[in-house]
Amino acid sequence: MQDCIFCKIINKEIPAEIVYENDSVLVFKDIRPAAPVHLLLIPKKHIPTFFDLEEKDSGIMGDLQLAAGRVAREMGLEKGFRLISNCNQDAGQLVFHIHYHLMGGRPLHWPPG
């Protein structure tokens, strides 16, 4: 999608520190990390929010979660990590290309704000 910052990262139009990529998923470092490890996991397909998901997207969403476990292991997060997705304004979603935050490397408080 033309004006989507994450689509631009997928298309390599703007730089990002990519840590994992396959046919359906891209994982890169958040530009404003809130934890020692703070990654963003996105599908290569532009989907704005969870409300826009269709049945046919189930494989893509599964791919994201498989990537989460794989990358977390590679980053040495065996002690734990958190996978979060902010959906729409009440959750503070800023980028309307569906994504998970993968955070770890320190104890994480619960519940988040």
Point out which residues bind ligand 5GP (CB under 6 A).
Answer: 5, 16, 28-32, 40, 86, 92-95
Residue nearest to Zn ion (CB): 4
Nearest 5°: the CA angle 12, 16, 17 is 125
Minimum distance, C-beta of residue 43 to ligand 5GP, in the bound complex (Å): 14
Known active-site residue 97? no
User: How many Å is the Cα radius of gyration of the chain?
Assistant: 14
Alpha carbon separation from 96 to 14, 46, 59, 77, 99 (Å, rounded): 17, 9, 20, 27, 9
For ligand 5GP, give the closer residue by CB, 72 or 100.
100
Q: Which of 38, 97, 99, 109 is catalytic?
A: 99
Q: Which does 30 bind (CB under 5 to 8 A by kind): ligand 5GP, Zn ion, none?
A: ligand 5GP
Residues designated catalytic = 99
